[in-house]
Copies of this chain bind each other. A is one copy, B any other.
Amino acid sequence: MRISALARRTGVSARALRYYEEKGLLVPERTSAGYRVYTEEHVETVRRIRILLAAGLNSDMVREILPCMVADGEFLAPGCEDLIAEFERELQRIDTQIAELHDVRSALTGIITAGKALASR
């Protein structure tokens, strides 16, 4: 599979895929002419990358986490033990973020229901 095919399958732009490679997140094989060649596994990797990035992790963190995600987190790849502390900090960040989002969420729903109450008078 070449880059535009993977782009179609994942819904991610070819530019983004090249960027992921540049950051070490997604490293394809190459043909003799230098074309990038991707496998089915790369499709899944791209899916994970997107989820992690969408959660606000930066690409450095994603690069570290990806090798630790084997079979839905059942096993842990070797070398990941050292990163546990870092992951816990990230987890802390995520929990904070979730709490902040919940605050704003309730504020927004309050405004929206108040607005609809006004509109229906």
Contact = CB atoms under 8 A, between A and B. Distances in A.
Interface of A: 51-52, 54-57, 65, 68-69, 72-76, 80-81, 83-84, 87-88, 90-91, 94-95, 97-98, 100-105, 107-112, 114-116, 118-119
A80 to B, nearest CB: 6
Contacts of A91: 105, 108-109, 112
A49 to B, nearest CB: 12
Contact of A51 (B88, B90, B104, B118): B104
Residue among A52, A115, A116 facing the most chain B CB atoms (10 A cut-off) = A115
B80 A108 contact: no
A103 to B, nearest CB: 6
Given A54-B100, A55-B100, A81-B119, A76 B108 contact: no
A114 B75 contact: yes
25 contacts: A51-B103, A54-B100, A55-B100, A55-B103, A65-B108, A68-B111, A68-B115, A73-B107, A73-B110, A73-B114, A74-B110, A74-B114, A76-B111, A76-B114, A80-B111, A81-B115, A81-B118, A83-B115, A84-B119, A87-B112, A88-B112, A90-B108, A91-B105, A94-B101, A94-B104
